[in-house]
Structure 1
Amino acid sequence: MVNNIKDEILNTLANSNDPKELKNLETREVEFEDYNEVWGELIDKSHSYDKEDFEKSLIQLEKNFCHVRLERTIEIKIFLIEIGAEGFVSTSDSISKINMQSNSLVADSVGNSSDESMQRKPYDESSVKQLFEEFSAKDLRTLKVSLLNLLLDNSKPIDKLTILLSLVHSKYPELFNEYLEDENNDPIDLDQENWTVLYFHSQNTALETNFSIDRYKHLLDVRDFLRKKGESDFQFISETKKSGQSGQSGQSGQSGQSGQSRQSKSLLDELIDMLVESLSKMKEVSCNLIEKVKSKFK
């Protein structure tokens, strides 16, 4: 009986793309084994996962059926479903959403028809374009992960990250939560005496569950403070150092051209590039999402 339940859970994990059904697996009554590192370390908790993480975690769970491995495997798969990773999209949900949006457009067209003719108007091109430019919950989740990753990127100037955050908030206010303090979200501490590396990471963990603009701005302040204090893990890494470029002969002309190119860019273009670069580093992000981001900011 126990093995049957275990097999059902593993089968559901492998084949279901329904987040609710996956979450319900945690409530199933089944006898778990103790965590055993012999089958590999638990996949690290992260802002972002990929298909390989899921496959590895599922194999580990099959070998060592413990509760903590089950939770992490479910977490990874739900993340991949939410960002619309290939092979992890719920077909029924996608079709239902498209049908609902299409029906809404049809209803609007019919509603706007004259009472005399009662004929349905054809789709308005701008309305159809808007339909496909709208951000889904998966898109917003991906954008959130991108911003979380930028917070840890030492090559990005904090002043520009601050402006980018405000810009994203103005375009996608629904991406952010209200500031919250509870047993899972530590309160913000404004006393700089307590701004340590450990404090930064604890607040960063809280930001994952309470993605508020106030908490994000606070973390930018803490990061800037730790950088100026000289903490090695928070020091700025210039783009030239990161890419291995130098000012030696033979490259000066190229460096000058790239410098002129950067100078010719507007601040808005720089911010968009920063966000697009972060999105591009995520394996499961589609080109369609990147184009939607560019279109939204222009």
Structure 2
Amino acid sequence: MTTNATMIGKAREQFLSALDDTQVSTELLKQLLDAAQQSPGVMDTHEVDGVTRATDVDPVSWTPDYFSRQKFFATRNFSKERLEHLIQVRDVFRQRNEKGFTPTVAASHARKAPMDNVASDYQPSSNLKKFVDEGDLLTIRTALRLELNDRRLDGAELRGALVWTKGNVPGIFEAVAEGAFARELVSDQNQWTEDYYDLQVTYLKTNFSEKRFLHLIQVRELLRNNAVEGFASTKTTEPKKAAGTHSAPSAAQAPRANSRQAIPENAPERNPAFKAALLIGGAIAAVVVFLVALVR
């Protein structure tokens, strides 16, 4: 199992790599930097010494070589001040249309249409595959859980992710259990609200069972079909109604009693910046997985 120190090191490495991704916006990098500051141990106190040099405030002296040197210094001193400076330098280069920094047209992430209850032609996202290939159980579970945030994916594709991951990672799921931090699954769809979904995501962290994951897919589908903000599909076609949900009342209007109090504040799964990063993939998505995995 990856230690916190190792995850922090990997989060830092991936963040610095994300600076080279032209698809990643300046605003998204700033938001991810803000999120990183909320995770204890990720950021260093700003320091300058004989090897780790000070930043230069004069844009006239900013060159790609200067940017590379500052990235190296950030590997030794991963401080808010140094990273904000790197983002600023990068943004100036983007405005100048500097080669290697100019935004490019994002590649299409379209997926084939799913069939039945599981996408028969399912292909894992690059983010999920990356962590499965690396083989660390904690980050694999985190990456799989974060697939629920991809609004392009419907229930069949998420079930495909579950089946694919289960087939490639023995022991990915625990036996279903209940306790103070992993309470029962509610079958009454009238109680399947946004707050209930957030609670079940929290319980999944404590008890990463297949039954809980499948239940979250069902709740998510109901919320999608009722066009609840944050759950509606981003696909152009209308999502099909999930079996057995046609008679349920709108989740947006369903009662929220007994659910709000237990939801953790600033739940990372609901962070819009995290969701945007996951859609881009690559190093910036890996940063999210490591930051979320650090929140136990």
TM-score band by shorter chain is 0.3 to 0.5
Q: TM-score, normalised by structure 2?
A: 0.41
Between 1 and 2, higher relative CO (CA 8 Å, sep ≥ 6) is seen in 2
Larger Rg: 1
Higher helix proportion, which one? 1
TM-score (norm. length: structure 1):
0.41
